[in-house]
Amino acid sequence: MAEIGFLYTEIRHAVRHLRRWMQPRRVPTPLAIQPAVSWIQPEPYGQVLIIGPWNYPVQLLLAPLVGAIAAGNCAVLKPSELAPRTSEVVAGLIARTFPPEFVTVVTGGVEVAQELLSRRWDYIFFTGSTAVGRMVARAAAERLTPYTLELGGKSPCIVTADADLDLAARRIVWGKFFNAGQTCVAPDYLLVERPVMQSLLERLKGCIQRFFGPDPAASPDYARIVNQRHFDRLAGYLRNGQVAAGGQTDRDRLYIAPTLLVDVDWNAPVMQEEIFGPILPVLPFDDLEEVIGRLRQRPRPLALYLFTRSATVRDRVFGSLSFGGGCVNDTLVHLSNPHLPFGGVGESGTGAYHGRFSFETFSHRKAVLQSLPLGDPMVRYQPYGRKLWLIRKVMR
C-alpha cells in the first residue's frame, strides 16, 4: 500500500497525463503590449538531487523521481543509510533501468550527503526531519538553488462528541500504528471532546487487539523501530503520561507495543517533539475554540485530521488552522490522491508534489511573449510629449 502500490499509481498517472502537462499554456496578453501572444513553457531544471528517508525508503525516494523524469531532468538519488538493504535493492534497480548519466544512486552516510549538498545542483528535493531540512536549506542558499523540503511535525487529530466513534477508532488506530507510527503524516496526538473520551479509548483498545491480536509482538502486520537510538528516544516518552494500553518494550527486538497515553501534560516532551513511533497521547478538551487557540500557537503541522459529523465544525477548524493537508473522518489517505498536492507549510515543509504537482515542482515555468507582425504602435517610443495622456489611458 505505502511503497510499491503507491508508486504504481504515481507512474500510471504521470504516463496518462504527461502529454497534456508538458504542452505550453497560452495566457492572455494585455492591450498595452498588443499585438502579441503569450505562453508559459515548462522546461526541466536540469540536474536534480533527491535525498530520501528511511521510513518508506522506496516510495519517498522514487515518487519524487517520477516527477523529475516526467519534467525531463537528470537525477542523483541519495537513499537513507538507515535502510541499507533497501538502498542496495534500489541502487541495483536504477542501475539496470537507466543509463548512469540520466539517473544514478549514490549510497553512504552523513558525510556523503554533506558532500553531495556541497556540489552545484539545479534543484534539490529532500524528505526527512525538520532539523536536517534546515541544513539542506542552508546548503541550497549558498548557491541560490531552489528546493523542496518534505518534513514533518506534530500532526493533531481532533474527535468531537458527534463523531462516529467506531469509524474514528478504526481509522485512527490504522493511521497511527501503520509502520509502527513511523509515518510523517501519522496522527501524532489525539484531542477528544471530554464526554466521549472514555468511550473512544475503549474502542481504540478494541481496534488495537483486533488488528494486531492479543500480542502485537507476534503479529506479522506490526513493524519494528528502525534502530536503538530511535527506540531509546521513544521509550523515554512512555514516562510522560499514564499508559492506558500497550507500553511493553523489548530493546533487543526493537519492539514497542501500540501504546495509548493519558494524563499527558501539554508541556511534556512527548507533546513538544514529533513522536514518529507507536505512542499516541490522548488529551481531552471541553471547548473547540480552546483547541483552535492552542493549535494556532504551535508550529504548523504537516497534517491535521478531524472526526465530526458537523459541516460547521469542519469549516471552523479548516478555516482557522494552517497545515499541509489532511482528512475529515479519515487519516493518511489524502496523500494517496494524485490530484491533491502533498507538502507542508512553515516548519513542516516547503513546496509540494504528487501527480501534476510533481511535474510542476521539477519544472521551470518559462515565460514567453511573441510580438506579431501586425503593425508597430508608435505610442511606446520616445519622445512621449503629447502621447502621455494616451499612455496613461492604455495602461489603466
Residue, of 387 and 4, whose pLDDT is higher: 4
Q: How confident is the model at residue 349 (pLDDT cuts 50, 70, 90)?
A: very high
**pLDDT at residue 382, rounded to an integer:** 87
Residue 387 pLDDT? 85
The answer on pLDDT for 394 being more than 80 is no
Could you list the active site residues? 150, 184
Q: CB-based contacts of 394: which residues, under 8 Å, 6+ apart?
A: 31, 32, 379
Cβ atoms < 10 Å from Cβ of 371 = 12
Can you list the alpha helix ranges (DSSP code H) found in the chain?
A: 4-21, 59-70, 84-97, 110-117, 130-142, 165-177, 197-212, 228-237, 288-296, 311-320, 356-361, 388-395
- Residue 385 pLDDT class (50, 70, 90 cuts): confident
pLDDT of residue 378: 81
- What's the chain's Rg over C-alpha atoms? 25
Q: What is the pLDDT of residue 377?
A: 78
- Is the confidence at residue 305, as pLDDT, over 80? yes
Of 116, 173, 168, the closest CA to residue 145 belongs to: 116
- Summarised one tens digit per residue, pLDDT across range 21-39 is 999 999 999 888 889 999 9
Question: For a pLDDT cut of 70, what percent of the chain falls above it?
Answer: 100
Strand pairing report for 279-285 and 303-307: unpaired
Q: For residue 39, what pLDDT is reported? A: 97
> Across all residues in the chain, what is the average pLDDT?
96
* 224 pLDDT tier (thresholds 50, 70, 90): very high
Report which of 131, 129, 130, 143 is spatially closest to residue 49, judged by C-alpha positions.
Answer: 143
For position 226, what pLDDT does the model report? 96
Burial class (CB in 10 A: 0-12, 13-18, 19+), 184: buried
Query: CA–CA distance from 197 to each of 91, 203, 239, 284 (Å)?
Result: 48, 10, 21, 7
Is the pLDDT at 374 greater than 90? The verdict is no
Instruction: Specify whether the CB–CB gap between 143 and 120 falls below 8 A.
Output: yes
Largest CA distance in the chain: 89
Write down the pLDDT at residue 98: 97
Confidence of residue 291 (pLDDT cuts 50, 70, 90): very high
On the CB side of 59, CA atoms within 13 Å amount to 18
Place of cell 494486531: 212
pLDDT tens per residue, range 244-288: 999 999 999 999 999 999 999 999 999 999 999 999 999 999 999
Is the pLDDT score of 188 beyond 80?
A: yes
CA distance 300 to 322: 6
Structure-block grid coordinates of residue 328: 475529515
CA triplet 335, 302, 318: central angle to 5 degrees?
90
Cα distances (angstroms) measured from residue 129 to each of 95, 120, 134: 28, 22, 9
- CA distances from residue 318 to 164, 292, 296, 304, 326 in whole angstroms, order as listed: 19, 10, 12, 9, 9
pLDDT, residue 119, reads: 95
